[in-house]
Amino acid sequence: MEEHREERCWEDLLPDALGLIFRNLSLQEMLTVVPRVCKSWSRVVSGPYCWQEIDIQEWSQQQNKPDQLTRMVHTLVTRSGDSFRRISVSGLPNDSLFTFIANHARSLKTLELPRSEISDCIVEDVAQRLSNVTFLDVSSCTKIGARALEAFGKNCKSLVGLRRVMHPIDVAGKVCQHDEARAIACSMPKLRHLEIGYMLIATNAVVEIASRCRDLSFLDLRGCWGVDDKLLQDKYPGLKVLGPRVDDCYENSFLEECSDDSDDDSIYSWEEYMDDEDYFAAGSDDEEALWDDGHALEGLEVRFYGGGFGEGAFAGIDWPESP
């Protein structure tokens, strides 16, 4: 007797299931291939199911056009429907883009903005909108200091991870950053993971952090030459300390140029995508303007992570309910 099985079409899959599948694709495929398959797939990539976690860190490091970066952030955040849980982008060009992210951050848990041009004043103004953030990366953000760190700490009550790693060039000419260390110690008591590589601090500043942040289990001090790590190990035996000695050369990913691995031979090239008037017919003018520079967005890839920063340490993907 032949077993009867109900066959379903791919386009009939639930949007959240399709979102899980599409997360394995590059952004170029999501925007040039998937929308051409069928209307239901096009609706999925235009909605929040594919944009819970936005990681354009690597791509943004290659950008030298602030308006292009701004349009990309606006587009992806808007598509997420304010439901993005993680955003990772390097080099925000101004305070206004940081404000835009904060205004849509009701679900945000992980905020990574290394090398961004943000100021103490704007952080103090909008930090209250980032109250759900649990992990923060403001490495090499040279225009902020103790005031911004204090504002983050006071408003992000659940903050358990901070990355404030500096490049040696960032601190050239500075005397010390003890005020930043004190801001961390006084306003971020729940920290469990702290990276402050190459900050200009002494042992007593680190001792204050370790004394006030009682849950601290990992501390990265690589390049902090004024810190006595042996004293810390004796005083806090349960604390894993990395550094201050550096075993290899400084990780200069911020300075290296990334290669362009995009495939120009694809049958769905950016040129063909750009010429497709039907695709933009249902889109906004802003989305259409995003692609005016043609190949400038090649190599961009959006990655999805199940658990945010670390293994299960922070909130993961919380897919919207299917209609």
pLDDT band of residue 134 (cuts 50, 70, 90) is: very high
- What pLDDT does 63 receive? 80
Residue 271 has pLDDT above 80, yes or no: no
Of these ranges, 23-37, 178-192, 251-265, the one predicted with the greatest mean pLDDT is 178-192
Query: By three-state DSSP, how is residue 15 classified?
Result: helix
- What pLDDT does 294 receive? 45
Structure-token pair, residue 107: 């679900």
Going from N- to C-terminal start, the domains of the chain cover 8-49, 50-240
Query: By three-state DSSP, how is residue 88 classified?
Result: strand
Residue 151 has pLDDT above 60, yes or no: yes
Residue 56 has pLDDT above 90, yes or no: no
What are the tens digits of pLDDT across the range 59-88? 888 888 999 999 989 989 999 999 999 999
Q: What is the mean pLDDT of residues 155-181?
A: 93
First to last CA, the chain: 37
- What pLDDT does 158 receive? 95
- What pLDDT does 41 receive? 80
Residue 258 region by backbone torsions, left for phi larger than 0, else alpha for psi between -120 and 50, else beta: beta
Residue 196 has pLDDT above 50, yes or no: yes
Task: From 82, 21, 51, 86, select the one nearest 316 (Cα to Cα).
Answer: 86
Residue 302 has pLDDT above 80, yes or no: no
Residue carrying structure tokens 């659940």? 158
Q: What is the dihedral of CA 179, 144, 154, 209, to 10 degrees?
A: -40
- What pLDDT does 47 receive? 77
Task: From 13, 10, 34, 9, select the one nearest 323 (Cα to Cα).
Answer: 13
Weakest-pLDDT range from 37-41, 87-91, 147-151: 37-41
- What pLDDT does 15 receive? 76
Residue 107 has pLDDT above 90, yes or no: yes
Residue 279 phi, psi dihedral angles, 5° rounding: -65, -40
Higher pLDDT residue, 50 or 299? 50
Question: In whole angstroms, how far apart are CA 142 and each of 63, 168, 171, 174?
Answer: 19, 12, 8, 11
Strand order from edge to edge, sheet including 135-137: 53-55, 86-88, 110-112, 135-137, 161-163, 193-195, 218-220, 240-242
pLDDT band of residue 274 (cuts 50, 70, 90) is: very low
Fold of 50-240: 3.80.10
The DSSP bridge partners found for residue 195 are: 163, 220
Query: Which residues does 199 contact at the CB level (< 8 Å), separation at least 6?
Result: 164, 166, 171, 177, 180, 181, 223, 224
Task: From 124, 159, 173, select the one nearest 145 (Cα to Cα).
Answer: 124
**Residue 232 contacts residue 210 (beta carbons within 8 Å):** yes
**Residue 273 contacts residue 279 (beta carbons within 8 Å):** yes
Residue carrying structure tokens 């290659």? 62
- What pLDDT does 248 receive? 54
The whole-angstrom separation of Cα 194 and Cα 221 is: 9
- Amino acid sitting at position 193: H
- What pLDDT does 243 receive? 85
pLDDT band of residue 280 (cuts 50, 70, 90) is: very low
What are the tens digits of pLDDT across the range 200-244? 999 999 999 999 999 999 999 999 999 998 999 899 999 999 989
Residue 11 has pLDDT above 70, yes or no: no
Higher pLDDT residue, 162 or 38? 162
Task: From 22, 12, 28, 11, select the one nearest 53 (Cα to Cα).
Answer: 22
